[in-house]
Structure 1
Amino acid sequence: MNVQVTSDQTLLKNYLSGDRSAISQLIERHSRRVRDYINMMVKDRDVADDIFQETFIKVVRVIDEGRYTDNGKFLSWILRIAHNQVIDHFRAQRQNKAVTESEAGYDVLGTLRFAERTVEDEMVGAQIERDIRALVKQLPDEQREVVMMRYFSGLSFKEIAEQTDVSINTALGRMRYALINLRKMIKEKNMVLC
């Protein structure tokens, strides 16, 4: 039996020509190698799942933005992105372990303003959350569901996939489109979320 396997380059061309299923095939083709690499590096399955998801979100974003240059080494490129995501994870972990002066009992300026959130900070934060929730409500049902589960319930993409009975790739795709739609809405409404 002669089975023809479509090359990475052909799948990329098909995706860029509008075949949305081609990116899922690419992700599926390389997911095991990427997942194994990340697992080997971080040795924590939940963290590895998150890094895996972030890796492929970044891969799709770079391709969509036209910044990927095809040199026939697609898997190597993905593994390099995964490696950078792992490094970013360890850097963030290291930064989170630093003790601030206020945690050590020192407040350089002797004020609470820098040690605690002010009422104004709380009000701004609450308004931003209301604005974001209002935008999320405008998303298509499947995208809204993934955003709510990821950001408001704190579920991993693996858990989201299991609860919605879809593949991880589908959950990632829905999140990607949700973020694209949210960015468009924010831009159209000239909103500043900071």
Structure 2
Amino acid sequence: MASAALVCGFLPGCALAQDAAASAPQRAGVAQAPQPCVPSLVIPAFTPVTVELLEPLGSKTSTPGATFALRLAAPIMADGVELFPAGASGGGEVIHAKKAGGSGAGGELVLAARFLEVCGRRLRLRSMHVSPNGKSRTGTVHTLNTASAAVAPPIALICFMIKGGEVNLPQGRLAEAKTAEIFTLAPPASVPAPAAQSVQ
């Protein structure tokens, strides 16, 4: 039976997130929400992230080179600690799209997760895995027949084989990715005070 190949891959990214209003008084017994853009923010390399497609994509309708919007669908966590809240915007790119052929060949769709916008900078992403049912693949061991594609670092691709004609991903489909490198917010540079001018 003909199959349609869907490949989703690594790559760069990041964006702007705003702090919760610091002027609001903290009520007794209620912990304040974490401030995501403090200089101490560190997101380790290869940290799992869950993103959501904000537009439909398909082997018949998508165009190679086109970009598409992503959203951080769940907080970024490490060792049980929330590092950054959900909601950051991001982007990806259609690497390859080929509609199903008349001879029975399945459609092909190759996507790359590029980045999330975190605190005004781009947090690069890699190893994007699209869920076949719209839910997170974390902890799942049997959803699709997967095979790694050998490519030069730092690009990493995962190939999903889906039986049928065209590959179609609806808006709202979730995908798993990982951060491509360590992400650290450097403390703001101090601005030197202007030199005092002598009075003549």
Q: Which has the higher strand share?
A: 2
- TM-score strictly above 0.5: no
Q: Which has the higher helix share?
A: 1
TM-score category by the smaller chain? under 0.3
TM-score, length-scaled by structure 1: 0.23
TM-score, length-scaled by structure 2: 0.23
Report which structure shows greater RCO (CA 8 Å, sep ≥6): 2
